[in-house]
Amino acid sequence: MSDQLTALSSLISNGITEIAKKYAERGQSYPILADPAAGDGIMDDADITKATNTVLAAAAQLIETLRKPADVLMDTVYAMHTTSALRVAVETGIAELLREAGPDGLHIKVIGDKVGVDGDKLGRCLRFLSARHIFKELAPDVFANNRHSAVLDTGKPYEAIQNRPLDRFENAQRNMAAFVSHASAEPFAKGAMCLTDYLLDPESSFSIDPAITPVSRGHGQNIAWFEYIEQPGNERLLKNMGAAMAVSASLFPKELVLSTFDWDSLKKGDLVVDVGGGIGSCTLPLAQGFLHLRYVIQDRPSVIPQGFKYWASEFPAAIETGMVQLQAHDFFQPQPIKDASVFLLRFVIHDWADKYAKEIMCLLRASATPRTKLLLLEFVVPYTCNAGADGKGKYSYVPGAEDDQPPYPLLPSMGPVSSHVYFADLRMMANCNSPERTIGQWVDLAEGTGWKLESVKKGALSALVYGVA
């Protein structure tokens, strides 16, 4: 035990020294948690990210090693209250209100009067979040933004977001609040609570039907998620989902999408089809960076109007010149485009169980040319045990498929560094009766579809490149 504690402590100490050195080399200091204007600085730098991930994994493992098991389980089972408290803060516009108040913050009585809720109860939610380093309590019952809560600020006037709640996330300076609002909405909360009943019921436990999910059990209708959000009365869910997907894209560095594929190898006029591309947030950096290509963004008819608004705001010339087109298309129908150089799918396949995912891939293969590539931007779920980590494992024949072994005594999954992937996996089960997939499952998924996995570039978001088999 003492050997592990010492090793973990050394990883933390050495990592922090490396991070401080990298910031000093750039003439910067690490962003202060208490400062709402600190931003992220150069936190996405590759060397800093590597050192940070090691520190995070070691610190989390050290904490869990030292804590009492009962305390760990208590904090975990009560985690639902973190989600609900954060949703309260977002839906009441606290980040915008505190930004307008300035560095002196606001007393909970004043906040309650402005928001129209019980200030004491709201203050308890803010104190709960402040104890988790979201917001800060400057003095008893006086709160202000910190670096984490400031990300919830849309940048709009508080009055504007209160008067037009359906439009609060349109053209926002920062939009993490859109993701929180979407991810914490009532259907998801009910779905999470229904997971146990869903698994214990044989009719749902062994089903792959996208209409039979914990979420559908929660709202009482056996209907698939993407159909449910288009029902009358769910307008805000639908609208917020578009904004949340744009946030999801922004969470990954722009360079990640640009570097997932050798886009310069494509000839002038070659076509990239963003299948199930939503409003086109994934295509935007490509269109801005590779002007010699053409792009088509495909999604449900209800999403296309949002897409036109997005491009009118972000890159109107792309639509005006025809470099980018938006097309209504159901990817369970034959693919109408027959000359694509790349079919790009970001977080599409994870919405579907294998049977349906294979159907999507088969339909794309039927429209592919011999040189067409299928590029999937997805999570690869890390194993929490060693599985071919030395590069000589079962999938070592696929470049990039095998993981490097992290330093002793860290988990192969690096703990909190990949925790979002496991959250996403359970969320996909709850929403869509579908999985995030391990590398083995991504290899197996291609079987019988006419595609073969050629390479993997792993990261916060992994790029899986399939070629024609």
The residues that are catalytic are 350
Among residues 316, 325, 255, 322, the alpha carbon closest in space to that of 285 is found at 255
Among residues 435, 433, 431, 434, the alpha carbon closest in space to that of 229 is found at 431
C-alpha angle 171/172/173, rounded to 5°?
Answer: 120
| Peptide bond between residue 409 and the one before it cis (omega within 30 degrees of 0) | yes
Distance CA 290, CA 261 (A): 12
Among residues 324, 438, 456, 444, the alpha carbon closest in space to that of 377 is found at 456
Distance CA 88, CA 193 (A): 19
Cβ-Cβ contacts under 8 Å for 458 (sequence gap 6 or more): 380, 400, 403
Provide the β-strand partners of residue 326. 297
For every residue of 314-380, DSSP letters joined together read H-HHHHHTTSEEEEE--TTS--S---EEEEEEES-GGGS-HHHHHHHHHHHHHT--TT-EEEEEE-B
Q: Phi/psi of residue 346, each to 5°?
A: -105, 120
Distance CA 41, CA 135 (A): 19
The residue type found at 265 is S
